[in-house]
Chains A and B, each alone.
Chain A
Amino acid sequence: GAVVSQHPSWVICKSGTSVKIECRSLDFQATTMFWYRQFPKQSLMLMATSNEGSKATYEQGVEKDKFLINHASLTLSTLTVTSAHPEDSSFYICSYSGVIAANEQFFGPGTRLTVL
């Protein structure tokens, strides 16, 4: 299957700081990538859709000024959590659409963010 990497795998930061998470597709040039958030023992919730070369589309209730998404190339998308607070602590997962069918999604390993 397709390979997606995320960096870092986990991060701990102080409240008020910003954290950047990278998502890379290693064997495919992805025009569309997705960012999800997952709280403990819950399902995945789509935060935003990231399109290469254009602005990301955010889901209702997700603050675009707090969760900055940049999809500058076909293999890299970044999510920056600005002025992080403890309630932002979560598991952040990226995915991208497959080649054969646009509805197939392959997920990265996730990034565990803990805000103190």
Chain B
Amino acid sequence: GENVEQHPSTLSVQEGDSAVIKCTYSDSASNYFPWYKQELGKGPQLIIDIRSNVGEKKDQRIAVTLNKTAKHFSLHITETQPEDSAVYFCAAFSNDYKLSFGAGTTVTVRA
């Protein structure tokens, strides 16, 4: 099955700086890569996603890049704000029709 690795496990940034989270996947057949934000005690919320036919996607301060050859994808948050503090999960949708999640990154934005 699919194996998704996510780094770093924790990330502390100064407000206004950028945050980058990186993930790798193992199944070359995976074709959909969502990113979720989870606040304490709540369910994951989809913040951005990318499909295998696209290399980059941007939505305001959030962007995701995908390198299919290297099987890497990354989340970029610019101009971070305190409300960006949360746990972020990457995931990959593989040919077994399931989402495989990374271990998560706890992002803390220091005011």
Closest 7 CB pairs of A and B: A103-B93, A107-B43, A103-B32, A110-B43, A109-B43, A43-B101, A107-B44
Asked if A85 is an interface residue, CB under 8 A from chain B, the answer is no
Contact A46 B102 (CB under 8 A): no
Task: Give the complex CA separation of A109 and B89 in angstroms.
Answer: 16
How big is chain A's contact interface, by range? 20 to 34
Q: Which of A44, A46, A103 contacts B44 (CB under 8 A)? A: A44
Residues of A within 8 A of B45 (CB): 107
Contact B98 A107 (CB under 8 A): no
Contact A104 B34 (CB under 8 A): yes
What is the total of A-B residue contacts with beta carbons within 8 Å?
47
Contact B34 A46 (CB under 8 A): no
Residues of A within 8 A of B46 (CB): 1, 104-107
Give how many B residues have a beta carbon under 8 Å from the other chain's beta carbons.
20
* Beta-carbon contacts under 8 Å, A72-116 to B: 93, 95, 101-110, 112
Q: Which of A6, A42, A112 contacts B41 (CB under 8 A)? A: A112
Contact B101 A104 (CB under 8 A): no
Interchain Cβ contacts under 8 Å between A and B, 6 examples? A6-B43, A42-B104, A43-B103, A93-B43, A104-B46, A110-B42
Asked if B63 is an interface residue, CB under 8 A from chain A, the answer is no
Given A43-B103, A103-B93, verify A109-B98 contact (CB < 8 Å).
Answer: no
Q: Using CB atoms and an 8 Å cutoff, list the residues of chain A in contact with chain B.
A: 1, 4, 6, 34, 42-44, 46, 49, 93, 95, 101-110, 112
Given A101-B32, A105-B34, verify A44-B42 contact (CB < 8 Å).
Answer: no
Residues of B within 8 A of A101 (CB): 32
Contact digits for B40-67, partner A, Cβ 8 Å, 1 yes 0 no: 0111111001000000000000000000
Q: Which residue of B lies closest to A109 (CB)?
A: B43
Residues of B within 8 A of A102 (CB): 97
Residues of A within 8 A of B32 (CB): 101, 103-104
Residues of A within 8 A of B31 (CB): 103
B45 to chain A, nearest CB (A): 7
Contact A105 B41 (CB under 8 A): no
Contact B99 A105 (CB under 8 A): yes
